[in-house]
Structure 1
Amino acid sequence: MPLSQLNDNAELDLSQSKILVVDDQPINIQTIYNILSEEYVVLAATSGEEAIEVLKDNLPDLILLDVFLPNKARNELCQCVKQRLELGNIPIIFVISMHQPEEEDACWQGGGIDFITKPISPLTLKNRVKSHLTLKFQTDMLQKLVFIDGLTGVFNRRYFDIHLNKQENKSIRCRNDTAILMIDIDYFKLFNDHYSHIKGDEALKTVAELIRSALLRPLDFVCRYGGEEFVVVLPDTNIFGALKVAERIRKSIYNKKIVHVCSPHHFVTVSIGASTFLESIDEKHHPVEEADRYLYEAKKAGRNQVYCPVEHFYKTSRKQDETNTIKSI
């Protein structure tokens, strides 16, 4: 139940919730699958490493974790969930044997919020899972009120400001780069003046959704930075990956063909500047400031472009709509 998929009229429908079951014994996974699969989407992993890989592509709403998983693998998985800011609110329920004190202690030390015992009671499992999913759903709804932009439905500036520093620290600590894309709608004031603010709001919502749809990984996110400007955060992404995502966003909006008679491009377009934390070429400026400066370089160069630094500046021009290539300048 991602925040971005919740709406103001959301009802308590848990049927699409994802449950990740982590157990090194396939028979145990099958048992839980048989109990829960009619009501939820059940994912599976037989090791901590495999579970971490699953988390990169599918954000579950709850994790069922076997306490007998090797300590190192179990601890690494729990730390991954707690440290990654996007995963911090995923509840972990441990599966343990019959009330062994050391196992119960391992649950609480590992960050679990509850545990169930083997042999598993289907009714108990269903009720525990439903209870914690309901609580998570309600928590997500409260976060929506605080962190979601009311017009576009994407994250707001407050969410960006709170989470950016955590993401920066993680990138520096783990040496996994994070990319920043600053995106601005070209000639948007002219669009509002010509078509009305109501049409302008519709265009903002469409652009926001196109940006969000262009982000293919669950950990990537977009925020409305202010007015007609958006910012995209791409964890574990270098500048070359940022270029690919930025160009995908630019082309998606250009190809939508939202008519804009006041633009020399005839349609609504965006300009994009990009930078990363580890590959920033200007230590005097924060990567967000650097991305913002390259955004304006793209605007000065004619708009409907991506401008990014990598040893040299790279620019993707509107003239390359058919070829989708990146040209060094």
Structure 2
Amino acid sequence: MGLNTQSVGNNENLIIELFESKVLVVEDQPLNVLLLKRILSNHFKVESVESGEAAIKWCENHTPDLILLDIVMDGMGGIETCKYLKSLPEISNVPIIFITSSHENEDTCWDVGGVDFIQKPFTKKTVFNRVKTHLTIKLQRDKLTNLVFLDSLTGVFNRRYFDTHIEKVDLNAKRMNEDYALIFIDIDFFKQFNDIYGHLEGDKELKIVAQTIQKTLKRPRDVVIRFGGEEFVIVLPSTDLKGSILVTEDVIKNISALNIPHSGSNFKHLTVSAGIATLRGLKGETEILKVADDKLYISKQLGRNRLSY
């Protein structure tokens, strides 16, 4: 029988991608943490925290690919922690495997979003196989999601993703009584840029602008979306007006600092304009979208290469 080289290549790619997967262990018993790291660290990137509160704080700055969550901990227990994490749009699709010493809470664990259980005391093969299985499923799901929700030109999220994501962010902000920000970004005089330099060069600069915005954002939960043409939207959960202004100023500054020549612009290099809106005082995602768009229009009317709020 001949060797299926494509299958071998796919398996090698899967192993490499799984090795890059981030597993967060949430467990307050040091011995259990040590055992889990010994089992998993040679195969995946493993981090650990000692409480539900620490897990929530960790996830504010990182997005794990899988969470191993102890049910019984001091302070916030595993059930409450899972419920909170699953309410966050950026964590909602992350598989959570509960660590348990009994089956008493199984129904509740399923109800709050758990995907599996690992029984104490641990067995090496069970821990590894269950973690690998759920990471593989997530990896395959992420690839399918990327086909649907990523803009093929710039590599950032597309309008279809925005329509689903903004609804989740809005609902979560209202549930948690938090603010969130939406920023419209538009490349100044982009039609003139295409007329002067050609559409191929215009496509190249769209990619560069998208990547620059992405690099400017500091938190995994902050996302940039190509809304259409030369227009982008930034969604900043748990962010007030002051915070969104700081982010927008950095975006405008970083794109201007690229010094991309643009002879058809008043500034002689590529710049962007921005409009900002936050949820405070507004009803929801439809209104915040309109306000941000109106503020972008004001920035254009005032001369571009600026922000309005």
3-state DSSP of counterpart to 1:263: coil
Q: Deviations over 1:194-219 (max 9, x none)?
A: 11111100000110010111110010
Shift of 1:76: 2.4
Provide the alpha-carbon RMSD of the alignment.
1.9
Unaligned runs of 5+ in 2: 1-11
Unaligned runs of 5+ in 1: 1-9, 309-329
Residue pair 2:181, 2:235 contacting (<8 A) in 1 also: yes
Residue pair 1:81, 1:90 contacting (<8 A) in 2 also: no
Pair 173,96 (structure 1): closer, same or farther in 2 beyond 3 Å: closer
3-state DSSP of counterpart to 2:19: coil
Q: Deviations over 1:127-178 (max 9, x none)?
A: 1111110100000111111111111111111111122122222222322100
Residue pair 2:262, 2:268 contacting (<8 A) in 1 also: yes
Matched with 1:40 is 44
Which one of 23, 43, 57 corresponds to residue 53 of structure 1?
57
3-state DSSP of counterpart to 1:286: helix
Shift of 1:307: 1.2
TM-score (norm 2): 0.91
Residues 1:25 and 2:25 aligned together: no
Distance of 2:303 and 2:253 partners within structure 1? 16
Residue pair 1:96, 1:104 contacting (<8 A) in 2 also: no
Q: Deviations over 1:271-311 (max 9, x none)?
A: 0010101155x99x811111111111111111111112xxx
Pair 107,76 (structure 1): closer, same or farther in 2 beyond 3 Å: closer
Give the stretch that moved more between structures: 257-266 or 236-245: 257-266
Q: Deviations over 1:13-39 (max 9, x none)?
A: 111111010111122112111221222
Residues 1:15 and 2:10 aligned together: no
Distance of 1:238 and 1:68 partners within structure 2? 35
Percent identity between the aligned chains?
46
Matched with 1:201 is 203
Residue pair 1:243, 1:274 contacting (<8 A) in 2 also: yes
Distance of 1:73 and 1:186 partners within structure 2? 50
Matched with 1:294 is 295
Distance of 1:14 and 1:71 partners within structure 2? 32
Query: Which amino acid is the alignment partner of residue 208 of structure 1?
Result: A
Matched with 2:90 is 86
Structure holding more helix per residue: 2
Distance of 1:105 and 1:287 partners within structure 2? 39
Corresponding pairs, count: 295
Query: Which amino acid is the alignment partner of residue 298 of structure 2?
Result: E
Q: Deviations over 1:95-122 (max 9, x none)?
A: 222xx33143443234211112222122
Distance of 1:275 and 1:166 partners within structure 2? 17
Residue pair 2:52, 2:75 contacting (<8 A) in 1 also: no
Query: Which amino acid is the alignment partner of residue 79 of structure 2?
Result: N
Which one of 145, 156, 159 corresponds to residue 158 of structure 2?
156
3-state DSSP of counterpart to 1:258: coil
Give the stretch that moved more between structures: 71-80 or 150-159: 71-80
Distance of 1:127 and 1:39 partners within structure 2? 11
Query: Which amino acid is the alignment partner of residue 166 of structure 1?
Result: K
Which one of 253, 256, 272 corresponds to residue 254 of structure 1?
256
Distance of 1:108 and 1:92 partners within structure 2? 10
In the TM superposition, 1:1-329 aligns within 5 A as 11-12=13-14, 13-69=17-73, 72-97=76-101, 100-279=102-281, 286-308=287-309
Distance of 2:178 and 2:19 partners within structure 1? 35
Distance of 1:76 and 1:118 partners within structure 2? 20
Distance of 2:281 and 2:253 partners within structure 1? 25
After TM superposition, where is structure 1 displaced by more than 6 Å over at least 4 residues in a row? none
Pair 172,109 (structure 1): closer, same or farther in 2 beyond 3 Å: closer
Residue pair 2:69, 2:99 contacting (<8 A) in 1 also: yes
Query: Which amino acid is the alignment partner of residue 274 of structure 1?
Result: I
TM-score (norm 1): 0.85
Give the stretch that moved more between structures: 114-123 or 221-230: 114-123
Residue pair 1:49, 1:73 contacting (<8 A) in 2 also: no
Query: Which amino acid is the alignment partner of residue 301 of structure 1?
Result: L
